[in-house]
Amino acid sequence: MQSLRGLFLAQIAIGVLGVLVISSEYATGLIRTTLTAVPQRRALLAAKAVVFGVVALVVSMISVFVAFFVGQAVLDGKHLGVSLGDPHVLRAVLGAGVYLTIVGLLGLALGAIVRRTAGAIATLFAVVLVLPLLTRALPSPWDTDIGKFLPAELGAAMFNVRPDSGLLSPGTALVVALVWLAVAFTIAAVLITRRDA
């Protein structure tokens, strides 16, 4: 959908914010104070994920709806606009907001895993931007068979209005994206309890 083209930049912005939620505490040494106040490290990680996830979801939903309506105002002038009542449009806009939230939470998990801001951001860039490019270099049909399970392609499936045989269905894409989050947070939870602050 043309109105949501800016999502590819927005995903990096919200992913970086997710990284900073925890990596900035490691960078400044404030993580020791935080862990003194909340010694249950997994509870701390879960609390950060819940608070950031709620804020990211609200901000993402507002942003995608604003982007949609502004984009449609421009496209209506060229008689190319769509409305939220058109088939799959509302689902695509909601899917875009959910996808941005998932990328933000993935950034938070990577921040907890890597603990260094630059390293976590580089890892996020690699997962969201570089891996899809590398999979496109694979021979067919491996390029699409593997690529459709990567976060960027999952996002495209979630906010795609027209069915695309190269992408998963929106529901399946959401489930796979949640599996990415579950794996990332499981690794983060294990590492946060085993490593010193």
CA 135 – CA 29 distance, rounded (Å)? 38
Q: Which two tokens stand for residue 113?
A: 């895993």
Q: Rounded to two decimals, what is the model's pTM?
A: 0.91
Contact between 191 and 113 (Cβ < 8 Å): yes
**Which residue type sits at 165?**
S
Nearest to 67 by CA among 5, 158, 15: 5
Q: Quick one: pLDDT at residue 2?
A: 62
Q: Where are the domains of the chain?
A: 2-194
Cβ-contact 136, 109 below 8 angstroms: no
Distance of CA 46 to the CA centre of its chain: 17
Q: Per-residue confidence of the chain (197 residues) as pLDDT tens digits?
A: 566 777 888 999 999 999 999 999 998 888 888 888 888 999 999 999 999 999 999 999 999 999 888 888 887 777 666 778 788 889 999 999 999 999 999 999 999 999 999 999 999 999 999 999 999 888 888 888 898 999 999 998 998 888 777 889 999 999 999 999 999 999 999 999 988 76
Per the CB < 8 A criterion, the answer to whether 17 and 110 are in contact is no
**In this predicted structure, what is the pLDDT of residue 84?**
80
Is 145:160 a contact under the CB 8 Å cutoff? Answer: no
